[in-house]
Chains A and B, each alone.
Chain A
């Protein structure tokens, strides 16, 4: 009897049973992978959490990632390698005069949740609310000289500007400020979208749930008037850490993520099984800025000596793993105003730097550089420290966390901005040169112009280029502006970097030319 019980509790295991058990365990260990590899679901990494659904509070691409899925615009960027736009809600749109744009909406485009058809009144409401002071729109400057929309019919209207504003086609209408929201729904919500789920959407997806700090869960919008989205569900998964995102991709928990230059160099032509890697030239610009108003750099020869002592190829090699190209300015290739080359070659010329310092009567020059605590920028600073010593320049490095760093040059946050010497910064960019030069005009000193660069010709050209509608003329103006920046001795352009995307080969991603994802256009392979 005791023996029976013992056998029941601890049955003897045969070799065959053991092998079968091992096989079952092996199969079970695959289960999570099988369960996640659902073709109807797409997981896209977001490096931070978008703020909310109201374009008034939008500040950058993270919001665009979400808005692109749930809202529409008159025109949208075309996925691919060339910057261009395509019709979205608009059936037709054209520059009817230098200060007006006439548009006609496609008929029968519907809002979700029974809010009816999308009309020109919605367009008027969506654009004009950015111009109301009380609304405190963060992206109002994107609309430039826009004044109002004149509604001429249910589906037609005219966009009016105070004076010509070329970026309206490249920044305003196809990006955040051009997002169309439902007038009736937003007015019913009190004029601002503060609800947990947006009251009405018109994009290919709608919001099901926002899990704070974790993900936005979207599903196919049944009321979408265009071609139905390819995925039943899209999750915008918040993964702050780039390494964690790459691991999540390798484990199959996300289908699309950006990765850093170190990973690009490592993965190269050999991405993990079931994955593909695409590398795009980015629009960002990294540069070494020098505060030209600092008395230490009053002598132009000293500024130029520093510029000649910075070896850009070494920085790109060490900090960007040689996967990016040295920049020729703040405007990336493919955009109006891109310069083919810099005035000072990217390679350092230590002999020339030394000679300039000797002319200025300086034996050893001690300077400081402030950098953000990112691997890329601290590495860049260390490379500079090592190489500049060859010209007799001793560089000390001060590393800051982001909150502290981004207030260094801000006049409202203390006196430090006046004593700044060198900084390494990266600014984000939109596909119009105006967005790059806007931060370096005189009125930005004490705000974002940390180099305290002030040049009348630059300011004038920036202003005139906004209204210049001839692309060739604009191109010439922005090139000249970058020449002026470089001639001041305040700027050493490093690189635009790259956007590298690692994604499952079961999807066909759609990206802008700079590699940022347009999730609304993603398809299954």
Chain B
């Protein structure tokens, strides 16, 4: 297990390194002069030249990438072009909002998806199962930004149950959760469908296993057999899917953060890409990719710990 863990960590670091270096190259080669976009029309040629020099934009791409990694290894993410402050300030003030959003989405998708999947398996072949199937596919197909906009209309404008914007008052946990509910629901809804389908399939498989047949033969109540024995095994694939799905949720977070006007890595990256604010884009991407790779790594390690076949397959 130790060797396997070491291999996965090395692989994770390599993924982060290559992903960020590739992104840096793509970002720099994108058409769009940051001095034009960032400084605005009234900046003189001298100001732009000075800005370009200060930010090292005159250097060749490989030198810029080397400088970037050099700074990262010394704990410096660079300076935010726009706000004249360390990139780390911008990124790490946004990160907790995105992490909360993603874990909120996991909460919604796991709780609703598992319930729906278990219910479907329990009522296999019935019209309720079919409705659940249609609902699951509909959830998967619905784009997050559409769900976000309709959630706003229904729950905020018509019913007035939830606020439309913001992340809540700092230091007030209830206010934070209150503001988190709707955006995390908008992201999590698509994953409700995935989780429900996976749980249903693996539960049907589990229900055919010998130990379930034995439990039934012993006369255990049907509900206990399904929800205490079969479901416990059936949710394992869903954990794996949600672990990998964090990448997708991070992408959806961009829309949710814009629609709900929440601070976060998604909206920070969106604004920074539009403004060609390279240091912030790269700093935020580094943290987002690091977060995603860490979650995937943890999911791998949990699976390997639970099922030794995972270790031997690799």
Chain A residues near B (Cβ < 8 Å): 29-30, 32-33, 36, 48-49, 51-52, 57, 59-60, 133, 136-142, 194, 209, 211-215, 237-241, 243-245, 247-248, 250-254, 401-408, 410, 412-414, 416, 427, 439, 448
Pair A241/B258 contact, Cβ less than 8 Å: yes
CB of B263 within 8 A of chain A? yes
CB of B267 within 8 A of chain A? yes
14 further A-B contacts with Cβ under 8 Å, apart from A407-B32, A412-B36, are A29-B160, A32-B160, A57-B84, A213-B93, A214-B263, A248-B165, A253-B165, A254-B165, A403-B31, A403-B32, A406-B36, A407-B37, A412-B48, A427-B41
**Could you give 27 example pairs across A and B, Cβ below 8 Å?**
A32-B161, A36-B163, A59-B39, A59-B42, A136-B47, A140-B44, A212-B94, A213-B94, A214-B166, A214-B261, A240-B271, A244-B258, A247-B153, A251-B152, A251-B157, A251-B160, A251-B163, A402-B32, A406-B32, A406-B36, A407-B31, A407-B37, A410-B36, A412-B33, A427-B41, A439-B41, A448-B41
Question: Within the complex, what minimum Cβ distance (angstroms) separates A436 from chain B?
Answer: 12
CB of B314 within 8 A of chain A? no
CB of B276 within 8 A of chain A? yes
Contact of A414 among B31, B153, B273 (CB under 8 A): B31
Question: Within the complex, what minimum Cβ distance (angstroms) separates A53 from chain B?
Answer: 11
Q: Which of B5-36 contact A (CB under 8 A)?
A: 30-33, 35-36
Question: Within the complex, what minimum Cβ distance (angstroms) separates A279 from chain B?
Answer: 22
Pair A211/B170 contact, Cβ less than 8 Å: yes
Residues A403 and B275 in contact in the complex (CB < 8 Å), given A133-B46, A141-B42, A244-B260: yes
Question: Within the complex, what minimum Cβ distance (angstroms) separates B30 from chain A?
Answer: 7
Find the B residue at minimum CB distance from A444: B41
- Chain A to chain B: the 8 pairs with minimum beta-carbon distance, closest first: A213-B263, A403-B32, A59-B40, A413-B33, A248-B164, A239-B261, A214-B263, A251-B156
Q: Which residues of B contact A252 (CB under 8 A)?
A: 160
Contact of B264 among A213, A215, A413 (CB under 8 A): A213
Q: Which residues of B contact A52 (CB under 8 A)?
A: 83-84
Q: Which residues of B contact A140 (CB under 8 A)?
A: 42, 44
CA distance A139 to B40 in the complex (A): 9
Question: Within the complex, what minimum Cβ distance (angstroms) separates B85 from chain A?
Answer: 7
Q: Which residues of B contact A239 (CB under 8 A)?
A: 165, 261
Residues A138 and B157 in contact in the complex (CB < 8 Å), given A240-B267, A244-B258, A253-B165: no
Question: Within the complex, what minimum Cβ distance (angstroms) separates B78 from chain A?
Answer: 16
Pair A138/B39 contact, Cβ less than 8 Å: yes
Pair A51/B82 contact, Cβ less than 8 Å: yes
Q: Which residues of A contact B165 (CB under 8 A)?
A: 237, 239, 244, 248, 253-254
Question: Within the complex, what minimum Cβ distance (angstroms) separates B302 from chain A?
Answer: 32
Residues A138 and B31 in contact in the complex (CB < 8 Å), given A244-B258, A253-B163: no
Pair B36/A211 contact, Cβ less than 8 Å: no
Question: Within the complex, what minimum Cβ distance (angstroms) separates A42 from chain B?
Answer: 15
What 1/0 mask marks residues of chain B from 101 to 116 whose CB sits below 8 Å from any chain A CB?
A: 0000000000000000
Pair A247/B160 contact, Cβ less than 8 Å: no
Q: Which residues of B contact A405 (CB under 8 A)?
A: 32
CB of B306 within 8 A of chain A? no
Pair B261/A244 contact, Cβ less than 8 Å: yes
CA distance A52 to B39 in the complex (A): 13
Q: Which residues of A contact B166 (CB under 8 A)?
A: 214-215, 237, 253
Contact of A403 among B37, B156, B267 (CB under 8 A): B37
Q: Which of B76-126 contact A (CB under 8 A)?
A: 82-85, 89-90, 93-94, 97
Find the A residue at minimum CB distance from B145: A241
Q: Which residues of B contact A413 (CB under 8 A)?
A: 31-33, 36
Pair A404/B32 contact, Cβ less than 8 Å: yes
Question: Within the complex, what minimum Cβ distance (angstroms) separates B257 from chain A?
Answer: 8
CA distance A427 to B40 in the complex (A): 11
Question: Within the complex, what minimum Cβ distance (angstroms) separates A181 from chain B?
Answer: 16
CB of B230 within 8 A of chain A? no
CA distance A150 to B113 in the complex (A): 73
Question: Within the complex, what minimum Cβ distance (angstroms) separates A457 from chain B?
Answer: 24
Question: Within the complex, what minimum Cβ distance (angstroms) separates A65 from chain B?
Answer: 15
